[in-house]
Amino acid sequence: MNFPILHEKLRYENPLVPMRIFLHQKPDGYLNFWHCHKQIEMLYILEGGLDVYIDKEMYPLMQGDLVIIGSNELHQDYSRLVKYFVFQFDFQQYIDPANAQYIKFFLRMNLPLSKLNYIFAENAAAKQAVIQSIEHIYKEASDKQSGYELAISMHIRQIFLTLLRSDTRNILQIHDQKEFNRLKPVLDFIEQNLNRKLEIKDACAIANISYHHFIKCFKKVTGMSFVDYVNDRRIKMAERILLTEDISNEQVAELIGMENMGHFYKIFRRFNQCSPNEFRKKMMEWGRP
């Protein structure tokens, strides 16, 4: 492609709430650069118009329209005196064992998430349900009442439940429920043993399948490798401990099964773009009145 591409790295106001939502206005005739980011993005038009280009598709949005842009999808837009909601979030950070089987449908690279925009054109009820969720998320993020983090997480999951159940073209159709059922004991085992060494050979034994079959099946079901999934669950556990217990980083690393401190710091920084100490300090400052 012969045009400049901006790879955006988004910062969150609260690191424990991996999303951004804000009202945005643009003058008439403004065209931005092609850009992408790992976060999923939704745009909801309140006034005016916005022509949104996603790869080779163009979505002419007017008041009341909605569009979804998938993770790492190239996009740009052309404004027409527009005022709109911008909602960006990292869906991968909202994974838990109960919804792990669905994550790959929303993040896979071979089928851009923007293919789901047909739902908003064909299903007015689904469109309105997603809009209401976005409005609730904006209010929760603005008011920051007790438990707003839980409310935002709930509404994000509601958005994807709506998309999943409204997908009449079966773009998100689940083909591997049997494989997930086979791996469910492995996912439970991981959650119960994050504080000890976890090896693929043990997971293979629990699932009663060969190594090569296991790594292929695990990636297919969760959208991640075994190692990446375990690291993700461990770092989320570390975040909770850092914010709820007054213990050293060494003790945190031991509790999540990462006794090699160099490895712990490296993996933690990969997920949070900061050290455990910086994370704790930032979150403590966030919580002060």
pLDDT value for 222: 78
> Which has the closest alpha carbon to 186: 232, 238, 212, 221?
221
Residue 288: per-residue pLDDT: 44
Cα–Cα separations (whole angstroms), residue 203 to 198, 250, 265: 8, 27, 25
Listed as ranges, residues in the chain with pLDDT below 70 are: 1-5, 95-111, 173-177, 283-289
Count CB atoms within 10 A of the CB of residue 89.
23
216's tokens: 């292929």
Domain 177-287, CATH 3.40.50.1010 — does that match?
A: no
Locate 257 and state its tokens.
């099964």
E strand intervals along the chain: 5-7, 19-26, 34-36, 40-54, 57-61, 66-69, 75-89
Q: Which helix (H) or strand (E) holds 289?
A: none
Structure tokens at 47: 């006034």
**How far is residue 262 from each of residues 134, 229, 240, 276, measured CA to CA in Å?**
40, 19, 20, 12
Name which CATH class applies to 5-166: mainly beta
Query: CB-side exposure of 226: number of CA atoms within 13 Å?
Result: 20
* Span(s) in the chain for CATH 2.60.120.10: 5-166
Query: What pLDDT does 98 receive?
Result: 64
DSSP state, 77? E
The pLDDT, as a whole number, for residue 136 is: 98
Q: Are 221 and 180 in contact (CB under 8 A)?
A: yes
Give the pLDDT confidence score for residue 171 in this predicted structure.
81
pLDDT of residue 283: 67
- Per-residue pLDDT, 109: 45
**CATH 1.10.10.60 placement within the chain:** 177-287
**Token digits of residue 28:** 């008439």
Query: pLDDT by residue (tens digit) across 207-226?
Result: 999 999 999 988 887 778 99
pLDDT of residue 24: 96
